Each structure stands twice: as structure tokens, then as C-alpha cells.
Chains A and B, each alone.
Chain A
Amino acid sequence: MSEELRELYQQVILDHNRHPNNYKQLPCPTHTAEGYNPLCGDRIVLAMALCGDIIKEIGFQGSGCAISKASASIMTSAVNGKTVGEANILFQKFQTMITSDLGTRLDRVALGKLAIFAGVREFPSRVKCASLAWHTLLSALNEPVSTQ
């Protein structure tokens, strides 16, 4: 197997694909959204409970490829307990990482576990898989659940 492929399908990613974190329905979400990638059929439903500005609880469900599922798993863990502003900054850093040129220096400290998706840069057709959960997060933040 090629170096790039091994980088893309690291054990951590395969483990998260098999046993994702936060794969659950939330009892009382304040924000939800559905993300869909028509190209490959990846579908994810994301739900959050916000308390003020802080993401108190987050969960997702759906079906998709290993990259999209592992990304949803690690993303939900990364933003849990963070403010909306902090989540936005993480998204920017993540997006830069998976779309930037190979030579670009990455903020590995801030990215933490998210840095394992750096290998996605080598696979332009898979960038959407890695970012689906993030885009769903952003649209969920814009879609408060109606309380009426």
C-alpha cells in the first residue's frame, strides 16, 4: 500500500470509523442540521445542545465513508465544551489543513487530534468527505430548533 494511502487510512481513523464517538441522538437538542454529500451518498444528522455560547452536548448519526464518519466522530469530540467562536476557529484551521498545499505549516497544537486528517490533502476527491461534518455543524449553528 502506498505511503499516501497509509497516511489517509491511519489506524486511528479506522478505529473511529468502526466505533465512532458521540454516535447518538440527543434528547433535547437546541440546534440540528442534516448534511448530505450527493456525490457519494454520505449523510449525517448532527444535533447539539447549546447553553449560552457553549456546546454542552453534541451527537451525530448517519452513514458514510470511513473518512466522513471518523471526521464526524473526532469533530464532535473536539468541539464539545467549546464556545461557538472557538468551534469556528477550529473549523477554519481544519479547512486550511485539508485544502492547503503540502508545504503549508499546520497549527498542530491547536488542531490536536484533528491533525490526523492532514493526509486528506493528497486526495482532492475526499476533501468533501472530511469536511461534511464541519459544514453540517456550521449549518446547525444557524438553525436553532423551534421551541414553539
Chain B
Amino acid sequence: MSDLLEDHAVAEAVFCPIDVFDVDVIRDDFPILRRRIHGKHLVYLDNAATTQKPQVVIDAVQEYYEQQNANIHRGVHYLSELATHLYEETRQKIRQFINAGSDKEIVFTRGTTESINLIASSYGKAKMGPGDEIIISTMEHHSNIVPWQLLCEQVGAKLRVIPIDNDGDLVLEEYYKLLSEKTKLVSIVHISNTLGTINPIKEVISAAHKHDVPVVVDAAQSMAHLRVDVRELDCDFLAFSGHKMLGPTGIGVLYGKEALLNAMPPYQGGGDMILSVSFEKTTFNELPHKFEAGTPNIAATIGLGKAIDYLLRVGHEKIAVHEDNLLEYANEALAAIPEVRVIGQARQKTSVISFVVDGVHPHDIGTILDQNGVAVRTGHHCTQPLMQRFNVPATTRASFALYNTREEINHFIEAIYGVIRLFK
């Protein structure tokens, strides 16, 4: 192990925060941004769906398979120890990244969706019964609606929904009214994937805690844009995905307070989550392994660790300034187009713009933009109840990341003008 750790020390030594945010330098780190689509430069504005990956992440995944591949927590051989070390080191990194109290509180999952399903299956079934209530909001992604609906059907609980106003902000007064002795859980999105709304999550949590109700935070959209401190928020659970924060697909995290996780029954059974098995009785492993049955996505986990290093090196403060700039620039350009209506004008937003164009369906916009090399998302964004709230079947969504530029937004806006000219 010693030579491995020496290599690692070298890698840590070159890790230092950048002084100046230079988007051209950032862009050089993302190989996909150099490619062309339909003969045009790629303008990737679908970052709320998934972000692109920097070279360091791609290299880490490749290096794992070329030089480090072995199963974890099993072998006494060198490669198994190495893989275990890299895997567990990422867990520590994530614990520091979100400021959790212990590595035991960091459970690896396939992504936000699986994290939420884990809570619903394990915590939900153990703690909820007929007449109990779960509170979510109108702006939830389907992955923070459907697991609770399934749970409600199984245990006879009820789903209550916090309304939002026309700007896309939560109506907190209504939320406070929904909280009662029947409430057993609140599960709320931190940042809306469709509207970009940053919810006042701290208020939501402290209000729930006054009723002794634990809170799940869906942070799928948060990690690439702002720092999340689970102890400052005092959230009970937090779920996020690697692929929306420059990391690989197929890896995500569930943070849970140790006492809550300890009291929960296992989610899936299998290898790695047990201490001993006989046909009479199985003793479950300790946290967090109790919730990690089977061989996990080791390569993606290591890649996620590199993505976090990368984000920290650039710095969330610098990223936020850059993205806020892009948001303002794009908002102004879209506001100048009479046919365009932006959906969601929340007080606090990340760099997500959902909009509709008079007389043009989003799917047509998406195809025409794509032919111009511009990748946007069109449709209901897995938030159908939210679409109904705003009375639109679908929207077009542009979402920006740290590597996007004003030139790209100009290109996007020009393409929108082209759409309007075509449909006039």
C-alpha cells in the first residue's frame, strides 16, 4: 500500500484552488466541448439533465479499469486493497464536501432516485402507517413523487402537496398549515430542475423539526452550483447524483443522520451488507455497508471523487458568479423577444430557464436548435404536476454550467429567432 499512498500524496500536492476563473481554461478540461454536432460547434445547454465530464474524471474511470480494478471489501490481495482504499477515500471526500459528521452517514447509491427510493422503502415502511402524511411540493421531480405514492399505497398514508405561486416560489404559509401531528415526513427539492427555484430549505427544515418531523432534501440540482452543508441545514436525509455534478452516471449518494440510518432496516439484501449469514439468521453489517448490497459502481465512485476535487479547485463561489452572469445575460436576451415567455421567476434561482414560444411547440424548438448544434431539453422535465400548475404541456429548458459562455448564449438566442421566423 505504501507506494500507492505515495502516488496519492503527489496528487494531493498539486491540488490547489485556482485564482482566476477563466472560462476558456475551464472549457479545455472538457473534451466533449470540442466536438461538432450536425457540422456546428456543440452548445451544450442541457446541464440540468446531466453535466459533461472533465478529463480528470474520464481519466480516473479509465485508470481504474486499466490499473486498479478489483472487488472491494473482499480480497487480501493488493488490487483489492487498492480499490477498497480508493472507494472509501471517496466516501471521506463526500463526507467533507457536504460536512457530514461521519463516514457512516454516506451511503452510495445509483443516484438521487435510488436514494429516495431507499428512504421510502426502508424508513417509510418501518415508520408509517394508515392516516400518516408525507409532505412534498408542487415542483417535485417524478422521482420525489412516485416513491412516496407507492409507499402511501402500501401503508395507507397520504401525500400532501405544498402549493407554489405564479413566480415558482413555495407558498410557505400553506406549508406551515399542512404540518400537523399526522405529518411523518417532509421530502422537498432544494433546487427545481424545471424552474431553477432555490427553495428556502432551512426554513422548511426548521418548521418541520418544530413538529419533530424529519426532512428529506432532493439535492440533485444543487451540488454543481452551490455548497451544501448538511449540518448547517440540519436536514435528516439528503440525496444527490454524481452525473449532475461533473461525475459519472450510475453513482449517487444518500446522506442520513446516523441515528436515523441505524434504526432503519436494510433496503436490499446481498453481499457486503452482512456480517454473518447462516440459514437460520443473518447479522447485518454496520453503517454505511448495511445499505450497500452487492458490488457497487467502483469506477464511477472514484470518478465522482475526482469531480468533487475539480469543483472544489474551481470553487463554488466563482462558479456561482459565472453562472449568475450567464443567467442574467440570457434572461435579458429572452425578455427582448415578444414571443417568448419565461416560466418561473423565483426570487432565488440557479442558471435554469424554462420558457415557451407563442405558437411553437417545444419539441419543434428542440429539433431546430439541435440542428444548430444547440442541445436543450424539451418536454415536461419529469415534472408533470408542475406543468399542469403553469397550464403548459411542455417547455423548452436551457440550463447553464460553469463551462458555458456568452457566445454560446448568443448562438442559442439566434437559433430561437430562427425558430420564430420559420413559424411566422
Contacts and interface: CB of A to CB of B under 8 A. Distances in A.
Contacts of A64: 361, 363, 393
Interface string A1-36: 110110011000010011000000000000000000
Contact of A2 (B38, B362, B394): B38
B92 interface: no
A109 interface: no
Contacts of A18: 359
Interface stretch (B60-68, B173-181, B364-372, B402-410): B364-372
Given A41-B379, A123-B367, A125-B367, A1 B422 contact: yes
B185 to A, nearest CB: 28
A129 B393 CA distance: 15
B23 to A, nearest CB: 28
Interface in A111-129: 123, 125-126, 129
Contacts of B378: 40
Contacts of A9: 364, 368, 422
Contact of A63 (B371, B393, B418): B393
A126 B370 CA distance: 12
A41 B387 contact: yes
B361 A65 contact: yes
Contacts of A98: none
Nearest to B423: A14
A50 to B, nearest CB: 30
A17 B422 CA distance: 12
A21 to B, nearest CB: 18
A63 B359 CA distance: 11
A43 B363 CA distance: 13
A8 B363 CA distance: 13
Contacts of A66: 360-361, 364, 423
Interface in B371-412: 371, 378-380, 387, 393-394
A50 B251 CA distance: 54
B362 A40 contact: yes
A97 interface: no
Nearest to B379: A40
Interface string B349-366: 000000000011111100
A69 B363 CA distance: 12
Given A1-B371, A14-B423, A63-B393, A40 B38 contact: no
Contacts of B380: 41
B371 A5 contact: yes
A55 interface: no
Given A9-B422, A123-B367, A125-B367, A43 B38 contact: no
Interface string A34-66: 000001111100000000000000000001111
A80 to B, nearest CB: 25
A125 B38 CA distance: 15
Contact of B393 (A2, A5, A17, A41): A41
A9 B418 CA distance: 12
Nearest to B38: A2
Contacts of A17: 423
Contacts of A133: none
A8 B422 contact: no
A26 to B, nearest CB: 23
Interface in A81-120: none
Contacts of B362: 40, 65
A67 interface: yes
Interface of B: 38, 359-364, 367-368, 371, 378-380, 387, 393-394, 418, 422-423
Given A40-B363, A63-B361, 11 more contacts: A2-B371, A5-B367, A5-B371, A14-B422, A18-B359, A41-B394, A64-B361, A65-B364, A66-B360, A67-B364, A126-B363
6 contacts: A1-B418, A2-B38, A5-B367, A14-B423, A40-B363, A126-B363
- Sorted nearest first, the 10 A-B pairs with minimum C-beta distance are A65-B361, A65-B363, A41-B393, A41-B394, A40-B363, A5-B371, A66-B364, A65-B364, A2-B371, A40-B379
